[in-house]
Amino acid sequence: MHAHVCALLFAATRATARVAPYSRLNPAELGVDVVKRGKEQAPAADRWAAMEGAPDAAGSLARPTNAWWTNFVLGQGPSELENANGFAIPYVLWPAKRGISAGLPFVLAQANQIENGFDSTISFVTLGASDVRTGHRVARSDALSVSLEWEGTAAAPTAHAGAGGAGPHAHAPIVRGSPYLTMEYRGTTPFFDSAQSLDPQVGFAVDGEPGVCPGKFRGRRFEFVLVETDETWVVWSSHEVEVGCQTDGALLQAAAPLSDGVWRAALTNNCTLGRSAHHCRKSPPADPEPPIFADILEAHAVTYPISAEVDLHAAGDDAAVRIRWGTRTMGDGSNGGRGKPAPALLMSAMEHHRRMGLCGGAGGKAEMVDGVYQRNMNGGLSLVIANE
Ligand SMILES: *[C@@H]1O[C@H](CO)[C@@H](O)[C@H](O)[C@H]1NC(C)=O
């Protein structure tokens, strides 16, 4: 079990007289499972796509340090990659060999410490591409997003130009606050998997129809109920695809590369059958919870964030924070309904963001969704509909 301690994203909106210093205790002395890195402490030079080496407006070639995602580009070996995690909100994410892994945090509280726990052994999922080289690179980044890219192994380069070059690749825009995992495929083949087992009774559905794994299916919406975490995950594909599924560990594998497509995945229920140790109302066996967030996640799945613009504005004792998300829409449009405008972005906000008025306050255009989508050490996290 690897624990991850998260940092606050925003400072207080109102300058306070005197703030006590954060604890100076060494987490290791408190028994926190700290990461020991055997090798270099700085990202390797080959962790950056070429365009990241372009000078910025000030002519600087400096790369971001101490970003919330810096861990993603530290470490090389498999166990170091597992420790390369960051709290992307709402999921704890870490790069896998050929994709991005996600675990749901749960609160670990003791007398002298509180942390977001997660499990990188079994209780996570991975969205990736099966025909890419291991080793991800940063293609671009800003204050709230980072895009990772994997180079395809297909011999013939395709005609599709991507952010990192003209060859086949997979590209993951990771934007803090997105309740979905997103991967763009250019001549590469999607998969979604987990070390967990599919529930044998209700485990798998394709476009709303129950399916039996192992098997082959065609569709664009795939639903998984996982045994160990009791989580339901939905995978949306921009295009209808042929897939094979396996049950133990759960695997959804596309049969062919997507020339230009997107897969998205989101957790729709974390107490599906009443057996989650962390997220049901009482210890298992508990009552199953209805999937109250499934419809809203479905309705907004086609619009995804790729970047963020953050404006900070200070006047006297007050500070205004404005976030504008850069977006894309996946697929040929038929997923969202032809002719209809793309739905607004669905993001998430932590309790302290709401209290600071970051969501919908002072001219903001955000619409809050009722209910707590996820609990972490900062409190209840809610879904928010907003492009800014
Ligand atoms: C996940 O679990 C928390 C309780 O820990 C609950 O409040 C929340 O609604 C659940 N979210 C989903 C998507 O099921």
Output the DSSP codes for 122-183. SS-EEEEETTB-S--EEEEEETTEEEEEEEB--SSPPS--BTTBSS-EEEEEEETT-SEEEE
Q: For position 377, what pLDDT does the model report?
A: 87
pTM (2 decimals)?
Answer: 0.87
Helix or strand holding residue 61 (H, E):
none
Whether omega for the bond prior to residue 190 falls within 30 degrees of 0, making it cis, is: no
Above 80 in pLDDT, residue 163?
A: no
Q: For position 9, what pLDDT does the model report?
A: 33
pLDDT in tens, 130-154: 999 998 999 889 999 999 999 999 8
279 CA closest ligand 1 atom index: 5
Mean pLDDT of the chain: 84
321/223: higher pLDDT:
223
**Region 88-116: what's the mean pLDDT?**
90
Which residues face 193 on adjacent strands?
A: 126, 251
**Region 164-173: what's the mean pLDDT?**
84
Above 70 in pLDDT, residue 258?
A: yes
Above 70 in pLDDT, residue 253?
A: yes
Poorest-confidence range of 53-57, 219-223, 265-269, 319-323? 53-57
Which amino acid belongs to residue 176?
R
Residue 355: pLDDT band (50, 70, 90) is: confident
**Region 381-385: what's the mean pLDDT?**
93
Residue 8 neighbours by CB distance under 10 Å: 10
CA-CA distance, 117 to 113, in Å (whole number)? 12
Above 60 in pLDDT, residue 294?
A: yes
Query: From the CA of 270, how far away is ligand 1's center (Å)?
Result: 6
Query: From the CA of 219, how far away is ligand 1's center (Å)?
Result: 28
Residue among 125, 268, 279, 383 whose CB has most ligand 1 atoms within 8 A, to mutate = 279
Residue among 91, 229, 270, 295 whose CB has most ligand 1 atoms within 8 A, to mutate = 270
Q: Going by CA atoms, what residue is nearest to atom 6 of ligand 1?
A: 374
Q: For position 257, what pLDDT does the model report?
A: 97
Binding-site residues, ligand 1, Cβ < 6 A = 267, 269-270, 279, 293, 372-375
pLDDT in tens, 48-94: 876 555 666 666 677 787 899 999 988 777 677 777 899 999 999 99
Query: From the CA of 375, how far away is ligand 1's center (Å)?
Result: 7
Cα dihedral 224, 227, 230, 232, rounded to 10, equals 0
268 CA closest ligand 1 atom index: 13
Cβ contact 168:187 at 8 Å: yes
What's the DSSP call for residue 35? Answer: -
Residue 164: pLDDT band (50, 70, 90) is: very low
124/63: higher pLDDT:
124
Which residues face 94 on adjacent strands?
A: 101
Query: From the CA of 266, how far away is ligand 1's center (Å)?
Result: 13
